[in-house]
Amino acid sequence: MGAVYSTRGMAYQKRGENDQALADFDQAIKLDPKNAISLRSRGDFYQAQGDYERALQDYNQAIAIAPKSADIFVQRGNTYMLKDDAMHAFPDYDQAIALNPKLATAYASRGEAFRVQDEPDRAIADFDLALKLEPKFAPALVSRGLAAEDKGDFPRAITDFSAAIRLDPKMVNAYDERARAFEQIGAHDKALADVAEAIKLDPANPDLHKLR
């Protein structure tokens, strides 16, 4: 029954019914306190709500129960990064990769950590590995494009943003980022077209889709 409550909690979370989701996660853990999946699910919920300390508590417990779960290490690392704590995030990503060298999300997450730490070359190397494992990993393409932008390589960035859009034509941030890259190389008309597409896809947030 614990697994049933956990699964229903995830369904509630996807629907934005957060009170019901948390109640189900709590019940799942009450019924089966040693279920690492339920703890990870509640940790994911807390992370999404911005309650990083509670998320870390759940991930810590989940890892103690399932120390070979690479996915949980990635999620804990992501939570540390959300807390601007790269010192603890990198060991978690490294451990995830050691446990599962074919886990694309681990390389992509570590790559993003390198990128925000102003190490674009190391970031690109990790995004390359993630995309080698999962060539259709659109978010990794966007992140690699951003790392290329950090190096001033706007044509390469545009190539990655365009590849992401081909994989996911509704990926709003890919249009936003490509628009800014187009603007950097003087392709103003193309930049405006991408901004217009981003606004079309996400009309509720037009202020987010601007050239800057």
With bands split at pLDDT 50, 70 and 90, how would you rate the model's confidence at 137? very high
Contact 6, 28 (CB under 8 A): yes
- Region 41-61 average pLDDT: 95
- pLDDT at position 65 is 96
Average pLDDT of the chain, as a whole number:
94
CA angle 209, 47, 143 (to 5 degrees): 45
- pLDDT at position 205 is 80
- Region 97-113 average pLDDT: 98
Percent helix, strand, coil in the chain (nearest 5)?
80, 0, 20
- pLDDT at position 29 is 87
Please say if the pLDDT value at position 2 is more than 80.
no
Pull the structure tokens for residue 6.
């956990």
- pLDDT at position 3 is 76
Pull the structure tokens for residue 113.
């950590």
- pLDDT at position 212 is 66
Over residues 65-103, the pLDDT tens digits come to: 999 999 999 999 999 999 999 999 999 999 999 999 999
